Chain A
Amino acid sequence: MAEPVTTIQVGGATLALLERWGARSHRGGGDFSRNVVLLRSLQALRGLVDFSDPRETAGLPEAMHRAGVELLEAPWTLKALEVNQLGEIVRRSPGLGTAARAAEVEPQELVARIAALSFAEKMAIVYCAIREQAPVPAVTPRKTKTRSKRR
């Protein structure tokens, strides 16, 4: 099973969610250690998003999908209610006209197609946008140890 490599400080909300899925403090690992439940949840979300790609599940054309992904600003800030209203978010986006033109579709049609998707399909668009727009972690150069010359 996955060996822990680093630690993070998490708050009560995160803990409560993990505990809902059976996680508990367990130094020896096992099926319900917090690390394992966290990894399982992350993998489940990835599976959920992959299997809910609206290009495959709802026949959303690639160009419309691209437009939807690119129109979302700071997609990681979207709350569940906003994801549910993704058509409305796209409709209000200042770049809608340009994006719709690039996708060779009427703006209203783009909005309507996205609004008609299921919650999981909308979430798949949001996660695609997050993966594309979230900052790439900077690689911190390792500090080289310099020996101090003591006499």
Chain B
Amino acid sequence: MPESKTTTLAISRAAVAFIERRGGRSNRGGGEFSRAAVVQRTLMAYGALLQRCDPRKTSGLSEEMFRLAVALLEEPWSLRPLEVEHLGETLGQSAGLEAAAKEAKVDREEFVKTIEALGFAEKMAIVDASIQDQAPRAAGTIPEEF
């Protein structure tokens, strides 16, 4: 794939370990297993996974419930896998749930139960939609450090 824009990305030891576990290696000439190629492949797989696990398509989750869950998550990028696994419970503890559910005309109990019953990948797709909604704004509020 021709790349019009390239940049240098600093990566951590943990990221290197993840990449190497999947065949990535230092390879200035590029190739199928250069670290950059493995990173790109992995991120694309992650993106595809999230796109195909949208619970509105896979489990018939209503648009209202989906929107409500996306809006209620606070700092979704900070959620740990266990919190994602129990996303219904996580949302059930949200301070704004009562009011937001009433406004969206969604039954609170049913909402928590429906979200909790989704598969992990579907819950992750909700978290991702929330990250995409909130992250750019949050990132923009952080002042540049020089």
Contacts and interface: CB of A to CB of B under 8 A. Distances in A.
Contacts of B38: 76
B94 interface: no
B99 interface: no
Interface size grouping (class) on chain B: 35 or more
A141 interface: no
Nearest to A23: B139
Given A12-B4, A32-B139, A44 B46 contact: yes
Given A5-B12, A51-B85, A51-B120, A14 B43 contact: yes
Contact of B15 (A21, A38, A83, A120): A38
Contact of B52 (A10, A28, A76, A119): A119
Interface string B107-125: 0000000000001110010
A31 B145 CA distance: 13
B9 A17 contact: no
B43 A120 contact: no
B128 to A, nearest CB: 8
A8 B131 contact: no
Nearest to A49: B49
B52 A51 contact: no
Contact of B45 (A18, A22, A80): A80
Q: Top 3 closest A-B pairs, CB basis?
A: A22-B135, A134-B23, A28-B145
Given A13-B40, A38-B9, A118-B58, 8 more contacts: A13-B3, A22-B131, A30-B142, A35-B11, A39-B15, A48-B49, A48-B124, A137-B26
Interface of A: 2-15, 17-28, 30-32, 34-35, 38-48, 50-52, 57, 76-77, 80, 83-84, 118-120, 123, 126-127, 130-131, 134-138, 140
12 contacts: A5-B11, A10-B40, A13-B44, A14-B40, A22-B131, A28-B144, A34-B10, A35-B9, A38-B9, A39-B12, A52-B120, A137-B26
